[in-house]
Amino acid sequence: MSLNIRVIAPDGLIWDTTTDEVVLPSLTGQLGILTGHAPLITALEIGILRIKVNSSWTPIIVLGGFAVIKNDEVIVLISGFEEIIKKRLRSNERVFNSINKNLAVAKTTKEKIDASQDIKIASSRLQAFKFLES
C-alpha cells in the first residue's frame, strides 16, 4: 500500500504522486507519515518536506502552510517553496553566513524577525543538500 501526496502552492500544483513515506516540517518538529496514519491536520513551519519514492528521498523547501492527512492521502497547502539545486551549495553557504551576520546586527524587532525567517530558509537549504548527497 502507498500514500498519495499532493503539494499545492499559490502558483499551482507542485507534486501529485504516489510515495512510500513523507516527512513534513510541522511546527512541533519533523512529522513522518506512513500508510495507515491516523487522520491529522497540522501547520507547517519553514523547512524541508521530503518524499520517499523508490528508496530515494526528494526534498523541497516549504515556506510554511498546512497539511491534511486522511485515508492514505496527504494534501499539503504551502505558502511558497524552493527547489534544491545541487550546484548552488557553495553560494547558499555564503548566504547563510551573511544572514547570520545580519541577525547579529539587527536592532529593530522587524529586522530581527526578518533575519530569523531568512535563517530558517537558509538553514533548510543547507540541510536539504544532505539528502541530495546521500
Task: Render pLDDT for 2-38 as a digit per residue (tens, 0 to 9).
Answer: 899 999 999 999 999 999 999 999 999 999 999 999 9
Q: Where are the alpha helices (DSSP H) in the chain?
A: 89-105, 109-133
pLDDT of residue 94: 67
pTM, entire model: 0.72
118 pLDDT above the threshold of 70: yes
Cα→Cα distances 45→31, 48, 57, Å? 11, 9, 19
Band of pLDDT at residue 89, cut at 50, 70 and 90: low
Cell numbers found for residue 47: 523547512
CA–CA gap between residue 31 and residue 134 (Å, rounded): 20
Task: Render pLDDT for 48-85 as a digit per residue (tens, 0 to 9).
Answer: 999 998 888 888 889 999 999 999 999 999 999 987 76
Band of pLDDT at residue 1, cut at 50, 70 and 90: low
pLDDT of residue 25: 95
CA–CA gap between residue 72 and residue 4 (Å, rounded): 6
